[in-house]
Structure 1
Amino acid sequence: MPQTTATALLRWISDDRISSVYQHYVIEDSERCIALWQPAGTVGRVAVGERGGPRGRNMVPGGWSGSYTEHEWTGDGVLRIHVPGQPWSTWRWLTADGWTEHAYVNLETPWTRTGLGFDTADWILDVIAEPDGSHSLKDEDELAWAAETGKFDAAKLAAVEDARRRAVAAVEAHAFPLAADWDAWGALPAEPLQLAAGWEIVAPQPSRSPSPTLD
Protein backbone atom coordinates (compact mmCIF):
# COMPACT_ATOMS: atom_id res chain seq x y z
CA MET A 1 0.00 0.00 0.00
CA PRO A 2 1.22 3.54 -0.68
CA GLN A 3 2.53 5.71 2.12
CA THR A 4 -0.20 7.85 3.65
CA THR A 5 -0.42 11.33 5.13
CA ALA A 6 -3.76 10.63 6.85
CA THR A 7 -3.54 10.62 10.63
CA ALA A 8 -5.92 9.74 13.44
CA LEU A 9 -6.03 9.85 17.21
CA LEU A 10 -6.36 6.54 19.00
CA ARG A 11 -7.67 7.16 22.51
CA TRP A 12 -8.20 4.71 25.34
CA ILE A 13 -11.14 5.87 27.47
CA SER A 14 -11.70 4.90 31.11
CA ASP A 15 -14.44 6.19 33.42
CA ASP A 16 -15.46 8.85 30.88
CA ARG A 17 -11.98 10.34 30.67
CA ILE A 18 -8.97 9.71 28.47
CA SER A 19 -6.52 7.19 29.90
CA SER A 20 -3.96 7.60 27.10
CA VAL A 21 -3.89 8.99 23.57
CA TYR A 22 -1.48 8.94 20.63
CA GLN A 23 -1.58 10.20 17.07
CA HIS A 24 -1.20 7.52 14.37
CA TYR A 25 -0.75 7.27 10.63
CA VAL A 26 -3.76 5.68 8.95
CA ILE A 27 -2.35 2.86 6.82
CA GLU A 28 -5.70 1.25 6.00
CA ASP A 29 -9.28 2.25 6.75
CA SER A 30 -11.66 -0.17 5.07
CA GLU A 31 -14.41 -2.68 5.77
CA ARG A 32 -11.67 -5.28 6.20
CA CYS A 33 -9.72 -3.47 8.91
CA ILE A 34 -8.35 -0.27 10.37
CA ALA A 35 -4.55 -0.24 10.44
CA LEU A 36 -2.87 2.47 12.51
CA TRP A 37 0.90 2.96 12.63
CA GLN A 38 2.62 4.59 15.60
CA PRO A 39 6.29 5.33 14.94
CA ALA A 40 8.88 5.62 17.68
CA GLY A 41 9.19 9.14 19.04
CA THR A 42 5.47 9.89 18.87
CA VAL A 43 4.48 12.04 21.85
CA GLY A 44 1.07 11.41 23.41
CA ARG A 45 -0.60 12.04 26.74
CA VAL A 46 -1.36 9.79 29.70
CA ALA A 47 -3.59 10.52 32.67
CA VAL A 48 -1.96 11.59 35.94
CA GLY A 49 -3.22 10.32 39.29
CA GLU A 50 -3.03 7.71 42.02
CA ARG A 51 -2.10 4.31 40.68
CA GLY A 52 -2.07 0.85 42.16
CA GLY A 53 -2.34 -2.77 41.13
CA PRO A 54 0.33 -5.49 41.03
CA ARG A 55 2.86 -3.29 39.22
CA GLY A 56 1.59 0.11 40.33
CA ARG A 57 0.53 1.20 36.87
CA ASN A 58 -3.28 0.97 37.06
CA MET A 59 -5.31 4.05 37.93
CA VAL A 60 -7.26 3.40 41.13
CA PRO A 61 -11.00 4.14 41.05
CA GLY A 62 -11.43 7.90 41.44
CA GLY A 63 -7.67 8.42 41.38
CA TRP A 64 -7.37 10.70 38.34
CA SER A 65 -5.99 14.15 39.23
CA GLY A 66 -7.71 15.83 36.28
CA SER A 67 -4.45 16.40 34.40
CA TYR A 68 -2.26 14.71 31.80
CA THR A 69 1.45 14.38 31.19
CA GLU A 70 3.38 13.95 27.95
CA HIS A 71 4.58 10.46 27.12
CA GLU A 72 6.97 9.61 24.30
CA TRP A 73 6.60 6.24 22.57
CA THR A 74 10.13 4.83 22.60
CA GLY A 75 11.64 1.66 21.17
CA ASP A 76 10.14 0.20 18.01
CA GLY A 77 7.15 1.47 16.08
CA VAL A 78 3.93 -0.52 16.40
CA LEU A 79 1.21 -1.32 13.86
CA ARG A 80 -2.23 -1.80 15.39
CA ILE A 81 -4.85 -3.69 13.35
CA HIS A 82 -8.52 -3.62 14.31
CA VAL A 83 -11.21 -5.60 12.52
CA PRO A 84 -14.43 -3.57 12.93
CA GLY A 85 -16.67 -5.03 15.61
CA GLN A 86 -14.07 -7.26 17.26
CA PRO A 87 -13.31 -6.67 20.95
CA TRP A 88 -9.55 -6.52 20.42
CA SER A 89 -6.81 -5.14 18.22
CA THR A 90 -3.70 -6.98 17.06
CA TRP A 91 -0.29 -5.35 17.46
CA ARG A 92 3.13 -6.15 16.03
CA TRP A 93 6.33 -4.16 16.36
CA LEU A 94 8.66 -3.37 13.46
CA THR A 95 12.24 -3.88 14.62
CA ALA A 96 15.50 -3.39 12.75
CA ASP A 97 15.26 -7.08 11.81
CA GLY A 98 11.63 -6.97 10.67
CA TRP A 99 8.29 -7.72 12.29
CA THR A 100 8.20 -9.41 15.68
CA GLU A 101 7.26 -13.08 15.37
CA HIS A 102 4.71 -12.90 18.16
CA ALA A 103 1.64 -10.67 18.07
CA TYR A 104 -0.01 -8.85 20.94
CA VAL A 105 -3.79 -9.19 21.04
CA ASN A 106 -5.05 -6.28 23.13
CA LEU A 107 -8.53 -6.97 24.52
CA GLU A 108 -10.64 -3.81 24.39
CA THR A 109 -14.02 -2.48 23.31
CA PRO A 110 -14.64 -2.33 19.55
CA TRP A 111 -13.26 0.93 18.20
CA THR A 112 -15.70 3.82 17.85
CA ARG A 113 -15.09 6.33 15.09
CA THR A 114 -14.93 10.00 16.09
CA GLY A 115 -14.19 13.21 14.25
CA LEU A 116 -10.55 12.89 15.31
CA GLY A 117 -9.96 9.17 14.91
CA PHE A 118 -11.02 6.28 17.12
CA ASP A 119 -11.90 5.63 20.77
CA THR A 120 -11.72 2.37 22.68
CA ALA A 121 -11.51 1.17 26.30
CA ASP A 122 -8.75 -1.18 27.41
CA TRP A 123 -9.80 -4.40 29.13
CA ILE A 124 -6.39 -5.04 30.76
CA LEU A 125 -6.10 -8.72 29.78
CA ASP A 126 -4.01 -9.49 26.70
CA VAL A 127 -3.28 -12.57 24.60
CA ILE A 128 0.25 -13.15 23.28
CA ALA A 129 -0.04 -15.03 19.99
CA GLU A 130 2.82 -17.18 18.69
CA PRO A 131 3.33 -18.11 15.01
CA ASP A 132 2.39 -21.76 15.65
CA GLY A 133 -1.04 -20.81 17.02
CA SER A 134 -0.13 -21.24 20.67
CA HIS A 135 -0.81 -18.44 23.11
CA SER A 136 -0.28 -17.15 26.62
CA LEU A 137 -2.19 -14.62 28.71
CA LYS A 138 -0.74 -11.38 30.04
CA ASP A 139 -1.81 -9.23 33.00
CA GLU A 140 -4.25 -11.71 34.56
CA ASP A 141 -3.19 -10.39 37.97
CA GLU A 142 -4.08 -6.82 37.00
CA LEU A 143 -7.50 -7.98 35.83
CA ALA A 144 -8.02 -9.71 39.19
CA TRP A 145 -7.05 -6.45 40.92
CA ALA A 146 -9.59 -4.54 38.81
CA ALA A 147 -12.27 -7.00 39.93
CA GLU A 148 -11.28 -6.80 43.60
CA THR A 149 -11.33 -2.99 43.65
CA GLY A 150 -14.62 -2.71 41.77
CA LYS A 151 -12.98 -1.06 38.79
CA PHE A 152 -14.48 -3.83 36.64
CA ASP A 153 -17.97 -5.04 37.55
CA ALA A 154 -19.46 -8.46 36.81
CA ALA A 155 -20.83 -7.42 33.43
CA LYS A 156 -17.49 -6.07 32.26
CA LEU A 157 -15.65 -9.15 33.53
CA ALA A 158 -18.07 -11.34 31.57
CA ALA A 159 -17.38 -9.27 28.45
CA VAL A 160 -13.64 -9.66 28.96
CA GLU A 161 -13.98 -13.43 29.35
CA ASP A 162 -16.06 -13.66 26.17
CA ALA A 163 -13.46 -11.59 24.31
CA ARG A 164 -10.69 -13.82 25.65
CA ARG A 165 -12.39 -16.97 24.37
CA ARG A 166 -12.99 -15.43 20.96
CA ALA A 167 -9.46 -14.05 20.71
CA VAL A 168 -7.89 -17.39 21.65
CA ALA A 169 -10.01 -19.13 19.00
CA ALA A 170 -8.83 -16.56 16.45
CA VAL A 171 -5.20 -17.16 17.43
CA GLU A 172 -5.56 -20.93 17.13
CA ALA A 173 -7.22 -20.52 13.72
CA HIS A 174 -4.52 -18.11 12.49
CA ALA A 175 -7.33 -15.68 11.68
CA PHE A 176 -6.72 -12.33 9.99
CA PRO A 177 -4.56 -10.40 10.56
CA LEU A 178 -2.31 -12.92 12.31
CA ALA A 179 -1.38 -14.83 9.16
CA ALA A 180 -1.43 -11.77 6.89
CA ASP A 181 1.64 -10.45 5.07
CA TRP A 182 2.35 -7.44 7.25
CA ASP A 183 4.92 -6.18 4.74
CA ALA A 184 1.99 -5.62 2.37
CA TRP A 185 1.06 -2.51 4.36
CA GLY A 186 4.02 -0.90 2.63
CA ALA A 187 6.79 1.46 3.70
CA LEU A 188 5.70 2.92 7.01
CA PRO A 189 6.44 6.58 7.85
CA ALA A 190 9.24 7.17 10.35
CA GLU A 191 8.44 10.77 11.26
CA PRO A 192 7.01 11.04 14.80
CA LEU A 193 3.60 12.62 15.23
CA GLN A 194 2.22 15.25 17.59
CA LEU A 195 -1.32 15.24 18.95
CA ALA A 196 -4.02 16.94 16.92
CA ALA A 197 -5.86 19.90 18.40
CA GLY A 198 -8.93 18.84 20.38
CA TRP A 199 -7.43 15.54 21.55
CA GLU A 200 -8.75 16.15 25.09
CA ILE A 201 -12.42 16.43 24.06
CA VAL A 202 -13.95 13.15 25.17
CA ALA A 203 -16.98 13.13 22.88
CA PRO A 204 -16.24 14.94 19.57
CA GLN A 205 -18.89 14.89 16.86
CA PRO A 206 -18.73 11.82 14.58
CA SER A 207 -16.89 12.43 11.33
CA ARG A 208 -18.90 12.64 8.12
CA SER A 209 -15.88 11.47 6.18
CA PRO A 210 -15.01 7.76 5.80
CA SER A 211 -11.47 8.55 6.91
CA PRO A 212 -10.09 10.49 9.89
CA THR A 213 -8.37 13.88 9.73
CA LEU A 214 -5.73 14.64 7.15
CA ASP A 215 -2.50 16.49 7.84
Structure 2
Amino acid sequence: MRVVQDDSAGLVVWLAPGTPRLVPLLPGGGDPRSLPLDELFGSPRELARVSWRGPGILMIAATDTPWSVWLFWSESGDFLGWYVNLEETHRREAADTWTCDHELDVWIEPDGVAQLKDEDELVAATGAGRFTSAEAEVIRSRAVLAQQAYAGGHWAFSEVWTHWRPDPEWTVPDI
Protein backbone atom coordinates (compact mmCIF):
# COMPACT_ATOMS: atom_id res chain seq x y z
CA MET A 1 0.00 0.00 0.00
CA ARG A 2 1.06 3.59 -0.40
CA VAL A 3 1.67 5.61 2.75
CA VAL A 4 -0.45 8.77 2.77
CA GLN A 5 0.37 9.92 6.30
CA ASP A 6 2.54 8.48 9.05
CA ASP A 7 2.89 10.56 12.19
CA SER A 8 2.07 10.53 15.89
CA ALA A 9 -1.68 10.46 15.10
CA GLY A 10 -1.37 7.23 13.18
CA LEU A 11 -0.81 5.57 9.85
CA VAL A 12 -2.94 6.27 6.76
CA VAL A 13 -2.44 4.07 3.69
CA TRP A 14 -4.03 3.74 0.26
CA LEU A 15 -4.87 0.35 -1.26
CA ALA A 16 -5.14 1.14 -4.97
CA PRO A 17 -7.24 -0.86 -7.43
CA GLY A 18 -5.17 -3.71 -8.85
CA THR A 19 -2.65 -3.77 -5.99
CA PRO A 20 -1.15 -7.25 -5.60
CA ARG A 21 -1.62 -8.80 -2.16
CA LEU A 22 -0.83 -12.04 -0.36
CA VAL A 23 -3.97 -13.51 1.21
CA PRO A 24 -4.75 -16.78 2.99
CA LEU A 25 -6.91 -19.03 0.81
CA LEU A 26 -8.02 -22.62 1.10
CA PRO A 27 -5.74 -25.19 -0.55
CA GLY A 28 -6.56 -24.99 -4.24
CA GLY A 29 -7.46 -21.31 -4.02
CA GLY A 30 -10.95 -21.29 -2.50
CA ASP A 31 -12.27 -18.45 -0.34
CA PRO A 32 -12.31 -19.47 3.35
CA ARG A 33 -15.62 -17.61 3.76
CA SER A 34 -17.21 -20.22 1.52
CA LEU A 35 -16.87 -22.73 4.38
CA PRO A 36 -19.57 -23.39 6.98
CA LEU A 37 -18.89 -21.35 10.13
CA ASP A 38 -18.04 -24.44 12.17
CA GLU A 39 -15.15 -25.16 9.74
CA LEU A 40 -14.00 -21.60 9.09
CA PHE A 41 -11.42 -21.29 11.86
CA GLY A 42 -9.94 -24.78 11.73
CA SER A 43 -9.30 -25.31 8.04
CA PRO A 44 -5.81 -25.12 6.50
CA ARG A 45 -4.74 -22.07 4.51
CA GLU A 46 -2.15 -21.27 1.85
CA LEU A 47 -0.88 -17.82 0.95
CA ALA A 48 -1.81 -16.81 -2.57
CA ARG A 49 -1.05 -13.74 -4.65
CA VAL A 50 -4.21 -11.90 -5.76
CA SER A 51 -4.95 -8.38 -6.95
CA TRP A 52 -7.32 -6.01 -5.16
CA ARG A 53 -10.52 -5.74 -7.18
CA GLY A 54 -12.83 -2.76 -7.02
CA PRO A 55 -12.27 0.84 -6.01
CA GLY A 56 -9.37 1.64 -3.74
CA ILE A 57 -9.63 1.84 0.03
CA LEU A 58 -8.12 4.39 2.38
CA MET A 59 -7.14 2.67 5.64
CA ILE A 60 -6.48 4.61 8.84
CA ALA A 61 -4.81 3.00 11.85
CA ALA A 62 -4.89 5.57 14.63
CA THR A 63 -2.14 5.28 17.23
CA ASP A 64 -3.02 3.13 20.28
CA THR A 65 -6.44 2.22 18.87
CA PRO A 66 -7.72 -1.39 18.65
CA TRP A 67 -9.31 -0.92 15.24
CA SER A 68 -8.63 0.59 11.86
CA VAL A 69 -11.03 2.66 9.80
CA TRP A 70 -11.41 1.84 6.12
CA LEU A 71 -13.10 4.34 3.81
CA PHE A 72 -14.99 2.97 0.82
CA TRP A 73 -16.09 4.71 -2.37
CA SER A 74 -18.17 3.56 -5.33
CA GLU A 75 -16.66 3.13 -8.80
CA SER A 76 -17.99 6.61 -9.61
CA GLY A 77 -16.30 8.14 -6.55
CA ASP A 78 -19.27 8.51 -4.20
CA PHE A 79 -18.37 7.98 -0.54
CA LEU A 80 -20.10 4.81 0.71
CA GLY A 81 -19.11 4.69 4.37
CA TRP A 82 -16.62 3.69 7.04
CA TYR A 83 -15.75 0.08 7.77
CA VAL A 84 -14.32 -0.25 11.26
CA ASN A 85 -12.10 -3.33 11.36
CA LEU A 86 -11.78 -4.37 15.01
CA GLU A 87 -8.26 -5.71 15.52
CA GLU A 88 -5.19 -5.61 17.73
CA THR A 89 -3.64 -2.19 18.10
CA HIS A 90 -1.07 -1.90 15.31
CA ARG A 91 2.46 -2.75 16.39
CA ARG A 92 5.29 -1.09 14.49
CA GLU A 93 8.62 -2.75 13.66
CA ALA A 94 10.82 -0.60 11.43
CA ALA A 95 8.85 -0.18 8.17
CA ASP A 96 6.35 -2.93 9.02
CA THR A 97 3.08 -2.80 10.94
CA TRP A 98 1.42 -5.83 12.52
CA THR A 99 -2.10 -6.48 13.75
CA CYS A 100 -4.54 -9.38 14.20
CA ASP A 101 -8.17 -9.31 13.08
CA HIS A 102 -10.90 -9.73 15.70
CA GLU A 103 -13.64 -10.85 13.28
CA LEU A 104 -16.34 -8.43 14.51
CA ASP A 105 -16.62 -5.21 12.48
CA VAL A 106 -18.76 -2.08 12.37
CA TRP A 107 -20.16 -0.52 9.19
CA ILE A 108 -21.06 3.18 9.46
CA GLU A 109 -23.14 4.76 6.70
CA PRO A 110 -22.37 8.32 5.55
CA ASP A 111 -25.38 9.50 7.60
CA GLY A 112 -23.91 7.91 10.76
CA VAL A 113 -26.16 4.84 11.01
CA ALA A 114 -24.01 1.99 12.33
CA GLN A 115 -24.44 -1.77 12.27
CA LEU A 116 -22.33 -4.65 13.48
CA LYS A 117 -20.95 -7.08 10.90
CA ASP A 118 -19.78 -10.66 11.26
CA GLU A 119 -21.13 -11.23 14.77
CA ASP A 120 -21.58 -14.88 13.77
CA GLU A 121 -17.89 -15.13 12.89
CA LEU A 122 -16.86 -13.84 16.32
CA VAL A 123 -19.10 -16.49 17.91
CA ALA A 124 -17.60 -19.19 15.67
CA ALA A 125 -14.03 -18.00 16.33
CA THR A 126 -14.71 -18.08 20.08
CA GLY A 127 -16.20 -21.58 19.80
CA ALA A 128 -13.11 -22.70 17.89
CA GLY A 129 -10.84 -21.41 20.66
CA ARG A 130 -9.43 -18.43 18.80
CA PHE A 131 -10.78 -16.11 21.52
CA THR A 132 -11.92 -16.77 25.07
CA SER A 133 -15.41 -15.65 26.12
CA ALA A 134 -13.79 -12.80 28.06
CA GLU A 135 -11.80 -11.70 24.99
CA ALA A 136 -14.96 -11.81 22.86
CA GLU A 137 -16.68 -9.49 25.36
CA VAL A 138 -13.76 -7.06 25.14
CA ILE A 139 -14.02 -7.15 21.34
CA ARG A 140 -17.76 -6.41 21.53
CA SER A 141 -17.06 -3.49 23.90
CA ARG A 142 -14.55 -2.12 21.39
CA ALA A 143 -17.29 -2.03 18.76
CA VAL A 144 -19.19 0.32 21.08
CA LEU A 145 -16.05 2.40 21.66
CA ALA A 146 -15.49 2.69 17.89
CA GLN A 147 -19.04 3.97 17.42
CA GLN A 148 -18.47 6.46 20.23
CA ALA A 149 -15.23 7.58 18.53
CA TYR A 150 -17.21 8.22 15.34
CA ALA A 151 -19.91 10.14 17.24
CA GLY A 152 -17.21 12.13 19.07
CA GLY A 153 -15.57 13.25 15.84
CA HIS A 154 -12.33 11.24 16.06
CA TRP A 155 -9.92 12.37 13.32
CA ALA A 156 -10.07 9.00 11.51
CA PHE A 157 -13.73 9.74 10.72
CA SER A 158 -13.07 13.32 9.61
CA GLU A 159 -14.93 14.59 6.57
CA VAL A 160 -11.51 15.57 5.23
CA TRP A 161 -10.84 11.88 4.58
CA THR A 162 -14.20 11.33 2.85
CA HIS A 163 -13.13 13.92 0.27
CA TRP A 164 -9.56 12.65 -0.03
CA ARG A 165 -8.46 11.29 -3.39
CA PRO A 166 -5.18 9.65 -4.42
CA ASP A 167 -2.67 11.46 -6.58
CA PRO A 168 -3.51 10.42 -10.16
CA GLU A 169 0.23 10.08 -10.85
CA TRP A 170 0.67 7.32 -8.25
CA THR A 171 1.53 3.92 -9.62
CA VAL A 172 0.29 0.64 -8.18
CA PRO A 173 2.87 -0.68 -5.72
CA ASP A 174 4.14 -4.25 -5.88
CA ILE A 175 4.57 -6.69 -3.02
User: What TM-score comes out, normalization by structure 1 length?
Assistant: 0.69
CA 1:48 to 1:128, structure 2 compared with 1: closer, same or farther past 3 Å? closer
User: Aligned partners of 2:168 and 2:142: how far apart in 1?
Assistant: 30
Contact 1:27 1:36 in 2 (8 A): yes
Contact 1:133 1:173 in 2 (8 A): no
User: Aligned partners of 1:52 and 1:72: how far apart in 2?
Assistant: 14
Map of 2:96 onto structure 1 = 117
Q: 2:5 aligns with which of 22, 28, 47?
A: 28
Secondary structure at 1:64 match in 2: coil
User: Aligned partners of 1:166 and 1:100: how far apart in 2?
Assistant: 23
What is the one-letter code of the residue matched to 1:191? T
Contact 1:87 1:108 in 2 (8 A): yes
Greater relative contact order (CA < 8 Å, ≥ 6 in sequence): 1
Question: Identity of paired residues, percent?
Answer: 26
CA deviation profile, 1:52-109 (whole Å, cap 9, x unmatched): 9874287523x335x4111211111100011101111111124443252311111111
The alignment's C-alpha RMSD in Å is 2.6
Give unmatched runs, 5+ long, in structure 1: 1-23, 196-215
CA 1:101 to 1:69, structure 2 compared with 1: closer, same or farther past 3 Å? closer
1:47 paired with 2:24, answer: yes
Map of 2:150 onto structure 1 = 171
User: Aligned partners of 1:40 and 1:89: how far apart in 2?
Assistant: 19
Contact 1:76 1:95 in 2 (8 A): yes
Secondary structure at 1:194 match in 2: coil
Contact 1:93 1:100 in 2 (8 A): yes
Structure with the larger strand share: 1
